[in-house]
Amino acid sequence: MAARTSRRSLAAVSRFLGVVVEVGDQQATRAFYEPIFRAAPTAGDWAQTDDLTYRAGGQRVTFAAKDEPRSLPESGQHQAYRVRADQVDVVVGTLERLGARIDWWHEDPPSERRLMPYTSDPSGNRVQLVPATTPGGNLIDHVAIEVHDIETAQVFYVAALGGRVSYYHGRSVQHYLEGRAWGEGADPCAPWTRFWPGHGLSTNPRSRGSHSHPTQQAFYGFGDCTIGLILAN
């Protein structure tokens, strides 16, 4: 009976309450995220204890202070925050003036097929800005992480936590054609969504005569939040 009760409580997961991001310089972190969060569809506020926290729309982003933050800049891990659609270019301009590099990429889920801005915070954590056309709602749109076994991960996120499968990528001929188009320079997709066979991650040098392939990906919904899993080597 206890096990059944536990399963029911886990299956009730319906949204993300927050994320924890490791950072070094908290002052530089707040200066970077301030224009992003100020343009979010829901107003929020900052709190400072040992860590720095921003709360909005019932969610929180906690910036955990670390001497050597583990930000995984060479991976596909990233956090995507919602920004009012009419403020995206304003935020991008502000971040560029702060010295941030902006890349315009798309990902593979149907809702992310248009180009969106990606950048990295001062500690190397990758950030995506997602245009929001309606007021209110979540600050966090989705989170992406790398895993080594998507099938086992699905048992956890679907069977244990009650997430719904929203999209798979990398399992059809069309996906492989799209993967090849990226390798030929015809598709500005996010680099972690493709790879060169035999050469590890897509950021490694390409080999003569080989074609790029799609990276296996799976996406699970919890309410109107999504977690994306990227198959890593």
Which of 113, 125, 127 has the alpha carbon at shortest distance from 187? 113
Residue 93 phi/psi, 5-degree rounding, is -60, -40
How does pLDDT run across 153-179, given as a tens digit for each residue? Answer: 999 999 889 999 999 999 899 998 888
Q: Chain-wide mean pLDDT for the chain?
A: 88
What pLDDT, on a 0 to 100 scale, did the predictor assign at position 9?
A: 44
DSSP 110: G
DSSP 121: -
What pLDDT, on a 0 to 100 scale, did the predictor assign at position 12?
A: 62
Within a 10 A sphere around the Cβ of 189, how many other Cβ atoms? 21
Q: How far apart are CA 205 and CA 199, in angstroms?
A: 7
What pLDDT, on a 0 to 100 scale, did the predictor assign at position 198?
A: 64
How does pLDDT run across 174-225, given as a tens digit for each residue? Answer: 998 888 888 888 899 999 999 887 654 445 455 444 688 899 999 999 988 8
How would DSSP label each residue in 42-62?
Answer: S-EEEEESSSEEEEETTEEEE
What pLDDT, on a 0 to 100 scale, did the predictor assign at position 196?
A: 82
Strand partners, 53: 47, 62
Query: Which sign, positive or negative, has the C-alpha torsion 138, 140, 141, 143?
Result: negative
Q: How far apart are CA 63 and CA 121, in angstroms?
A: 11
Residue whose tokens read 């991960």? 153
How does pLDDT run across 112-167, given as a tens digit for each residue? Answer: 999 999 999 999 999 999 999 888 889 999 999 999 999 999 999 998 899 999 99
Q: How far apart are CA 176 and CA 182, in angstroms?
A: 10
Instruction: Examine the pLDDT at 5 and tell me if it is beyond 50.
Output: no
pLDDT average, residue stretch 90-97: 98
What's the pTM?
0.88
> What strand order describes the sheet that includes 59-65?
18-23, 59-65, 52-56, 44-48
3-state secondary structure 60-106: EEEEEECCCCCCCCCCCCEEEEEEEHHHHHHHHHHHHHCCCCCEEEE
